[in-house]
Structures are given as structure tokens and as C-alpha cells.
């Protein structure tokens, strides 16, 4: 597949340098596409196009309902091309096609949601302190938005940024992860087909250090929205300070899944697996930190290990496969180092802890689903995000201890509590310092519910009404209907 093009000012163009990058299938390391490799110069061109479209184009003044209609067209085109998009996502990321189909349904739902709320907030009149006056508050687009996405959910994370930015009347430049650009390229074709005007949505492909850094530091960009790792987030935050850009950061997590002895045991075990092993654990909100009540610890570990040992690895295109490979050789080696460090610190490998020996999996970046027991809160495997199929298990003996452990983290993205005691569940979630907390569930997200992190898991929210607010400025307009001199001076 040839994808040597970027989308700038409504035209498909190669990188100015003519450089390209090979896109690799993580299942077998075959080259599946050749993509343009843009750099700072391409990013500057795209920002110029987005600036012009915002300052001189009609998009920001188009009625919100007309913008909503175009965003709805995108949702419908994603539904139309669901299978093609899902297969492309699986080819690029290694995840199962079934998972990718679910992602495409979620993505269409995200565009539909923001299309529907685009025209639902026309502003409000507020009480004025003076007679013969009125005071109103209106929402306006922020301007030119830089949007940077990761490789794990390439199109899903892109949709959480594209849909609200367009619905709110902004123009944008998106940079997908350089290793998984394929579905984002395809969606820019669909946005063009859906009627997004020229220059409004621009796409630059390439590395973070070049394209991403330019988007973060360029003073013509008014907002930067980033999803990715915590260290990259900190760099972007520094770069964005140059013109005090608005900033939205969706960063990592090491998410606690607290299991009390009175939980529905079978369901808690089953959902603990779902909470981690989709996409080989490469999920920001994966429940990789299991904190289980000591009374059921051994029984829980036994049940979990039996199920984990039976997870079927393979090609995402094989319908028997339950878990695909990791994204890259570099990432595989990071996950291996993470587990080795945990072992040195005293964790015990209850299952997994190595690459599979199956000859059919030797060309892919596979790692066995892994459970580490005897974990304590001071260990690096408990504190750091592994971003792989690795669960750490800790024990607790009281509700207070469970909460204390769950909150003992620099992260605050998501967490879960399993119990049949409703009051206990409510007490726990009230104290858990995370942007999303599930009671008797894990890893559920949908367009209406805001998503984002407490603590170092991020700044701001995507999805829900707050996800639209990120892309809007609030303006107060005071109108004096009977101006007269004050004669103060
Ligand atoms: N909170 C969430 O909703 C959420 C969702 C998905 C992924 N994530 C996080 O993403 C991380 C994994 O993704 P990743 O490895 O692609 O992250 P990453 O930080 O390495 O890269 C993310 C994006 O940032 C770009 N980038 C890299 N350096 C840059 C720089 N200096 N300036 C600007 N852009 C730069 C990359 O090219 C890529 O497009 C994990 O930590 C995961 O938890 C968070
Ligand atoms: C936000 N989510 C869960 C869709 C993907 C995180 O990596």
C-alpha cells in the first residue's frame, strides 16, 4: 500500500523533503505501507493553511448545525467503511479485527455524539448588575488546534480530538503516531468526502521530535491536544508555554482494580482479564494493578492464572486469536525489561514472563500474558506503567488499606472496585483519585462520559460536554442599552 501523502490546505501532497517511512506489520514485520515522512517544514505549511482557514475562511462562522451536519456525514462514512477501516487498523496495530470493529463502532459514535451536541449550546443570558443592559455568555472556537495521537488506538484517539474540534468550529493540524498512520490517512479522505472545507483539517505525518515539536511550539497554534506518554506530555507542556497555548493532555496510567472478598468472584476474575488483555495490555486504562483482599488472594490468583495460561496468541486476522502482538521491537524490549526489573525487586512470575516459544509467533513482537505476584507498592512494576500484558497483584486486609494502595501512585487515570456492598463501593469511589472509576466493571468508555486523568495522568477532558468545552473559548458580552456619562473625573 502506498500512502506517501499528507493532507495540507485541501490537497494531498508528499513530504517537502520527499522522505518516506516504512510501516511495519507487528505480527510478521512485513512492510505494509510506505508513508510520507514530514518534518518541521511540512508542519509549518499545514499550520499556515489552518491559520488561513480559521482567520479568512467561513468555517468558524458556519452555523453550528451546519457544522454538525458535516460531522454527522463523517460518522456515516465511517459506518459505511467500517470493515475496511477495521482491517487496516488491525494490520497496522496487530490487534484483533473483532477489537478493531468495536473501535470503529465507537469512533462512528463519537462523531455522531459531537455532531448532535454541536448546536445545543447557543450561550446564555446572565444577570446584569446594571439596569438598561444585558449580559450574555457565548462560546467561540479556540482557533488553530494541534493534535497529536499515539499508536495504541490510532483512530479512536484521533476521533476524540477531530470530532469536537470540528463541531466547535476550529481548524486543525493532526499528527498521528509515525508508526500507525494508516487509518488516520483514510479518515482524512472521508472528512474531505464529508464536506469539511479546504484548509480546515490538515494532516502531517512524521516523527514527534520534528512535526510534533513544531505543532507544540509554533505560535500560530492556539491549542495543543496530546495523547501519549507522560514524558512526552511534559515536553509538550514546556514547548506550549511559548505562547501560553491552551493545553489538553491525556497521559498514561497504572490503574488499580480493587477486588473485595464479597465480590461476585467469577465475574471479577473474568473482567480482570478483560480489563488488561485487550490489545495486549497496550491500553492507558488497563487494570494492570490488581489489589485483592487477602481472604481470597490465593483463590483469586489460582483462577486468574488458569485463565491467563489459556489466552490464545496469534494473528489479529485469525478469528481464534484472543491477543495479538505488541506494537514494535522497541516496545517488546521495554516490556521485557519491565518484567525483569520486577523479578529482581522480588515479584514472582505466576504465569508468562517471557516470549512465547510457538514457531508461528517468532516473527511477531509477542509476549506471553503475565501475572506477577508477591508485589508491593514500592516496586517499579507496581508504580510504573508497563503498557503490556502484565498484571501485578498486591494484597490488602482492610477497606482503608485498599484505598491507600489504590491512591499510592503518580497516576490518576482510572480504577475499579468490585464488591457486593453498595455502601462500601460508594465510600471507596468517593476517595479514589482518578478521572474514571468503575464499580463492578472495568474499562468501559463511551462518548457521553468525560475521559481524562487526575494527577499526572493529564490535564483536561475528552468526550462528553467537557470534551467540546476544551475546543471553545468563553466570551462574556456586556451591552449597555442606555449609555450615559458618569462624570467621575
Ligand atoms: N489517557 C489516555 O486517554 C491515553 C490514551 C491512549 C494512550 N495513552 C498513553 O500513550 C502512551 C503510549 O503511546 P506512545 O508510545 O505513542 O506515546 P508517545 O508519547 O511516545 O507518543 C505519542 C505521540 O507523541 C509524539 N511525540 C513524541 N515526542 C514528541 C515531542 N517531543 N513533541 C511532540 N510530540 C511528540 C509521537 O510521535 C506520537 O505521535 C502510554 O503512556 C498511554 O498510557 C493515554
Ligand atoms: C482511552 N482508551 C481506553 C480508549 C484507550 C487508552 O489507551
Specify the pLDDT at position 456.
98
Distance 300 CA to ligand 2 centre (A): 26
- Determine contact, residues 138/477, Cβ cutoff 8 Å: yes
Local structure of residue 208 (DSSP, 8 states)? I
R_g over Cα of the chain: 24
For 431, the enclosing helix (H) or strand (E) is: helix 422-431
Active site residue 250: yes
In the block, residue with C-alpha cell 511495519 = 24
Residue 130 CB-half CA count within 13 A:
11
For the cut 80, the answer to whether the pLDDT of residue 47 exceeds it is yes
Convert the pLDDT of each residue in 202-241 to its tens digit.
Answer: 999 999 999 999 999 999 999 999 999 999 999 999 999 9
Helix residue spans in 220-372 (DSSP H): 230-240, 265-277, 297-309, 329-344
In the block, residue with C-alpha cell 455532531 = 115
At residue 436, the 3 state secondary structure works out as: strand
**Integer CA distances (angstroms), 236 to 222, 232, 251, in order:** 13, 6, 12
Distance 318 CA to ligand 1 centre (A): 28
Indicate the Cα dihedral angle 86, 92, 96, 99, nearest 10°: -50
Mean of the per-residue pLDDT values of the chain:
97
Local structure of residue 169 (DSSP, 8 states)? T
Distance 365 CA to ligand 2 centre (A): 21
Convert the pLDDT of each residue in 374-403 to its tens digit.
Answer: 999 999 999 999 999 999 999 999 999 999
d(Cα 482, Cα 318) in Å, to the nearest integer? 73
Average pLDDT on 87-116 reads 98
C-alpha cell at 380: 517499579
Specify the pLDDT at position 2.
66
CB-CB neighbours of 45 under 10 Å: 19
Q: Which of 40, 178, 214, 250 is catalytic?
A: 250
Under the banding of pLDDT at 50, 70 and 90, the label for residue 4 is: confident
DSSP of 429-453, one letter per residue? HHH--SSEEEES--S---TTS-B--
Average pLDDT on 104-130 reads 96
Average pLDDT on 164-171 reads 98
Indicate the Cα dihedral angle 50, 56, 58, 64, nearest 10°: 70
Query: What is the value of pTM for the model shown?
Result: 0.98
Average pLDDT on 467-477 reads 98
Atom 37 of ligand 1 has which residue's CA nearest to it? 208
Q: Does residue 463's CB lie within 6 angstroms of at least one atom of ligand 2?
A: no
For the cut 70, the answer to whether the pLDDT of residue 447 exceeds it is yes
C-alpha cell at 151: 499508536
d(Cα 293, Cα 290) in Å, to the nearest integer? 10
Q: Mutation test of ligand 2: which of 285, 287, 451 has the most ligand atoms closer than 8 Å to its C-beta?
A: 285
Q: Which residues face 282 on adjacent strands?
A: none
Q: Does residue 325's CB lie within 6 angstroms of at least one atom of ligand 1?
A: no
Amino acid at each position: 500500500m502506498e500512502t506517501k501523502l499528507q493532507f495540507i490546505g485541501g490537497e494531498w501532497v508528499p513530504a517537502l523533503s520527499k522522505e518516506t517511512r516504512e510501516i511495519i506489520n507487528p505480527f510478521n514485520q512485513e512492510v505494509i505501507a510506505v508513508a510520507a515522512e514530514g518534518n518541521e517544514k511540512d508542519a509549518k505549511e499545514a499550520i499556515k493553511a489552518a491559520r488561513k482557514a480559521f482567520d479568512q475562511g467561513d468555517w468558524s462562522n458556519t452555523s453550528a448545525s451546519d457544522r454538525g451536519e458535516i460531522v454527522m456525514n463523517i460518522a456515516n462514512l465511517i459506518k459505511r467503511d467500517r470493515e475496511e477501516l477495521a482491517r487496516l487498523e488491525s494490520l497496522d496495530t496487530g490487534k484483533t479485527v473483532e477489537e478493531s470493529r468495536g473501535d470503529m463502532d465507537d469512533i462512528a459514535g463519537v462523531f455522531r455524539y459531537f455532531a448532535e451536541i454541536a448546536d445545543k449550546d447557543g450561550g446564555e443570558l446572565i444577570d446584569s448588575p446594571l439596569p438598561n443592559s444585558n449580559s450574555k455568555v457565548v462560546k467561540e472556537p479556540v482557533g488553530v488546534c494541534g493534535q497529536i495521537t499515539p499508536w495504541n488506538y490510532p483512530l479512536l484517539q484521533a476521533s476524540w480530538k477531530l470530532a469536537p474540534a470540528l463541531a466547535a468550529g476550529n481548524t486543525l493540524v493532526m499528527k498521528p503516531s509515525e508508526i500507525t498512520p494508516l487509518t488516520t490517512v483514510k479518515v482524512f479522505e472521508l472528512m474531505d468526502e464529508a464536506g469539511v472545507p479546504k484548509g480546515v483539517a490538515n494532516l502531517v505525518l512524521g516523527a514527534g521530535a520534528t512535526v510534533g515539536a513544531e505543532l507544540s511550539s509554533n505560535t500560530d497554534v492556539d491549542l495543543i491536544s496530546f495523547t501519549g506518554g507522560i514524558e512526552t506530555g511534559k515536553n509538550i507542556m514546556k514547548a506550549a508555554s511559548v505562547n501560553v497555548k491552551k493545553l489538553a493532555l491525556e497521559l498514561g496510567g497504572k490503574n488499580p482494580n480493587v477486588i473485595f472478598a464479597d465480590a461476585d468472584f467469577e465475574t471479577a476474575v473474568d473482567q480482570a482479564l478483560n480489563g488488561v488483555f485487550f490489545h495486549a495490555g497496550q491500553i492507558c486504562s488497563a487494570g494492570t494493578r490488581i489489589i485483592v483482599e487477602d481472604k481470597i488472594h490465593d483463590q483469586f490468583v489460582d483462577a486468574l492464572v488458569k485463565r491467563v495460561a489459556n489466552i490464545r496468541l496469534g494473528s489479529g486476522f485469525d478469528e481464534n486469536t484472543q491477543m495479538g502482538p505488541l506494537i514494535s521491537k522497541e516496545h517488546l524490549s521495554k516490556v521485557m525489561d519491565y518484567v525483569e526489573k520486577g523479578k529482581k525487586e522480588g515479584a514472582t512470575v505466576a504465569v508468562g514472563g517471557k516470549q512465547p516459544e510457538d514457531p508461528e509467533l517468532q516473527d511477531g513482537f509477542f509476549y506471553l500474558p503475565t501475572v506477577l505476584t508477591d508485589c508491593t507498592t514500592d516496586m517499579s512494576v507496581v508504580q510504573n506503567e508497563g503498557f503490556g500484558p502484565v498484571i501485578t497483584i498486591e494484597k490488602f486486609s482492610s477497606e482503608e488499606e485498599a484505598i491507600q494502595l489504590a491512591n499510592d501512585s503518580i497516576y490518576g487515570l482510572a480504577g475499579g472496585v468490585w464488591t457486593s456492598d453498595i455502601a462500601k463501593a460508594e465510600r471507596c469511589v468517593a476517595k479514589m483519585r482518578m478521572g474514571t472509576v468503575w464499580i463492578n466493571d472495568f474499562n468501559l468508555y463511551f462518548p457521553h462520559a468525560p475521559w481524562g486523568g487526575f494527577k499526572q495522568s493529564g490535564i483536561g477532558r475528552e468526550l462528553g460536554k467537557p470534551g467540546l468545552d476544551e475546543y471553545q473559548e468563553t466570551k462574556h458580552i456586556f451591552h449597555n442599552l442606555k449609555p450615559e456619562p458618569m462624570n467621575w473625573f
